[in-house]
Amino acid sequence: MTDPAPQNRPMALAGLKVLELGQLIAGPFASKLFGEFGADVIKIEPPGTGDPLRRWRVMRGDTSLWWHVQSRNKRSVSLDLKSAEGQDIVRRLAAEADIVVENFSPGRLEQWGLGWADLAAINDRLIMVRISGYGQTGPYRDLPGFGVIGEAVGGLRYLSGHPGESSVRVGVSIGDSLSALYGVIGALLALAERRQSGRGQYIDVALYESVFGMMESLIPEYDGAGIIREPGGSALPGITPSNAYRCADGTEVLIAGNGDSIFKRLMTAIGRDDLGAEPALAHNDGRTRHAARIDAAIEAWTRQNDRARVLEVLEAARVPCGRPYTARDIVEDAHYAARHMIETITTADGESLRVPAVLPRLSRTPGRVGGGGPALGEHTRAVLDELGIDRATQQRLHAAGVLHDPDTGDRA
């Protein structure tokens, strides 16, 4: 791990051109990752409103604070994709791009003459990341699908929560983010293959499949043993002990003592060497059959100690443990600080803002945070200049509502 490097550091994806035709979370999250490692990301947004994420969750002024993470290192071009002239500009951009990222409903880009076949005919080296609820094929192809629906159909939502209670969603858009990661992995694989073939290809990412890909032993346990995995609350069923336990001060601690040697150290630490030496509990399969007894023994000890003491004892015994972190805990944590995982930027309003650093951490060509998200259409003029579209044409398109250039004034 390295400290933040100077601005002239090498960038892993320098020279790569990415065109983003998406909004909200999955597609923009994918292109954000490209931009953080040096790719030139051009984000297309509709005139007037822009990406709806600009107004999601907590606002400062007229801009979402989330926007300054999701859209950093991008150039905003405000363009009406429904117009013939706007579509022509996208084709010209795609002709020069390495990667196009899109998360429209399947068939929408094809209606505009901007689908895979259309763009590949212009640029046979193009790589296209297509993210949708159910994928580009299949009987559910045309159904609308947001991340939470992908989490449900992918199997995650059923397992979230406590037995007999309503399912609980993860507190972030995990289905969208997983899909973005799969999309980036697919694009990088396609880039590697393109070095051999000289040809591009498209990556078909479905929200539900991205979640399904994380479901571990769900299907083989059903097929091989007839087991339908059920929600386990705070525990990790079948892996023992791994649970949340209450402490004497009413707080909660997470303990993962499921390795064979770790379990013995844990039992010694809580004064239960008898359980640590019990042959039936030597391995995980045996411990799982006695999970309730083991959890009861652990919580009998944690309830006699406050959380600070529990963590102190278990850390000394080399037993994985921790407490649930809030945002304040993260910002104030010494390890986060030592790893430079929180960086401070200055947004367009002149205010400072702390944001997450870039992941993954590369030792020689690390990523960059850059500034905040761009204003709507901030780079329209510069990008169209690069395409060779003269200013008179730009002004005409602006007046017609095809594009928005804030330097020209509001399109209305």
| Cβ within 8 Å of residue 124, ≥6 positions away | 199, 200
- Considering the domain architecture, whether residues 117 and 198 belong to the same structural domain is answered as yes
**What is the number of domains present in the chain?**
2
Query: Is 21 contained in some domain?
Result: yes
End of a domain among 272, 290, 322? 322
CATH code, domain carrying 48: 3.40.50.10540
d(CA 357, CA 161): 30
Reduced to 3 states (helix: H, G, I; strand: E, B; else coil), residue 311 is: helix
What per-residue confidence (pLDDT) applies to 10?
Answer: 83
Domain around 27: 17-214+338-404
Query: Is 114 contained in some domain?
Result: yes
Closest Cα partner for 283 from 254, 261, 267?
Answer: 261
Query: Is 237 contained in some domain?
Result: no
Query: Is 409 contained in some domain?
Result: no
Query: Is 329 contained in some domain?
Result: no
End of a domain among 322, 357, 372? 322
- Considering the domain architecture, whether residues 73 and 102 belong to the same structural domain is answered as yes
b/e 177-190 (16+ beta carbons within 10 angstroms → b): bbbbbbbbebbbeb
Helix (H) or strand (E) holding 119: helix 116-122
- The residue length of the chain stands at 412
Residue 371 burial (10 A CB sphere; 0-12, 13-18, 19+) = middle
- Considering the domain architecture, whether residues 65 and 171 belong to the same structural domain is answered as yes
CATH code, domain carrying 289: 3.30.1540.10
- Considering the domain architecture, whether residues 51 and 121 belong to the same structural domain is answered as yes
Residue-wise pLDDT tens digits, 194-250: 999 999 999 999 999 999 999 999 999 999 999 999 999 999 899 999 999 999 999
Structure tokens at 184: 């980036």
Query: Is 224 contained in some domain?
Result: no
End of a domain among 291, 322, 353? 322
- Considering the domain architecture, whether residues 203 and 76 belong to the same structural domain is answered as yes
DSSP 53: G
Query: Is 76 contained in some domain?
Result: yes
From residue 95, give the alpha-carbon distance in Å to each of 18, 100, 310: 11, 10, 60
Closest Cα partner for 276 from 308, 241, 307?
Answer: 241
HSE, side-chain direction, 13 A CA sphere, residue 157: 15
- Considering the domain architecture, whether residues 184 and 268 belong to the same structural domain is answered as no
> Which residues form the catalytic set?
176
Residue 410 burial (10 A CB sphere; 0-12, 13-18, 19+) = exposed
- Considering the domain architecture, whether residues 300 and 346 belong to the same structural domain is answered as no
d(CA 68, CA 390): 31
What per-residue confidence (pLDDT) applies to 9?
Answer: 75
What per-residue confidence (pLDDT) applies to 84?
Answer: 97
For residue 38, report the phi and psi dihedrals to the nearest 5 degrees.
Answer: 105, -5
- Considering the domain architecture, whether residues 356 and 296 belong to the same structural domain is answered as no
Helix (H) or strand (E) holding 178: helix 174-197
Q: Name the one residue in this structure whose structure tokens are 């928005």.
A: 404
DSSP 5: P
Residue 19 burial (10 A CB sphere; 0-12, 13-18, 19+) = buried
- Considering the domain architecture, whether residues 42 and 132 belong to the same structural domain is answered as yes
pLDDT in tens for each of the 412 residues of the chain?
A: 444 445 577 899 999 999 999 999 999 999 999 999 999 999 999 999 999 999 999 999 999 999 999 999 999 999 999 999 999 999 999 999 999 999 999 999 999 999 999 999 999 999 999 999 999 999 999 999 889 999 999 999 999 999 999 999 889 999 999 999 999 999 999 999 999 999 999 999 999 999 999 999 999 999 999 999 999 999 989 999 999 999 999 999 999 999 999 999 999 999 999 999 999 999 999 999 999 999 999 999 999 999 999 999 999 999 999 999 999 999 999 999 999 999 999 999 899 999 999 999 999 999 999 989 999 999 999 999 999 999 999 999 999 999 998 887 544 3
- Considering the domain architecture, whether residues 394 and 256 belong to the same structural domain is answered as no
| Cβ within 8 Å of residue 247, ≥6 positions away | 253, 302, 303, 305, 306, 307, 310
Handedness of CA 292, 293, 298, 303 (dihedral sign): positive
- Considering the domain architecture, whether residues 84 and 155 belong to the same structural domain is answered as yes
- Considering the domain architecture, whether residues 90 and 185 belong to the same structural domain is answered as yes
Query: Is 226 contained in some domain?
Result: no
DSSP strand E in 68-152: where? 74-79, 99-102, 127-132
> What residues does 202 pair with on adjacent strands?
128
What per-residue confidence (pLDDT) applies to 2?
Answer: 45
Confirm if 131 and 183 have CB atoms less than 8 A apart. Answer: yes
Amino acid at 144: P
Closest Cα partner for 257 from 273, 272, 239, 274?
Answer: 239
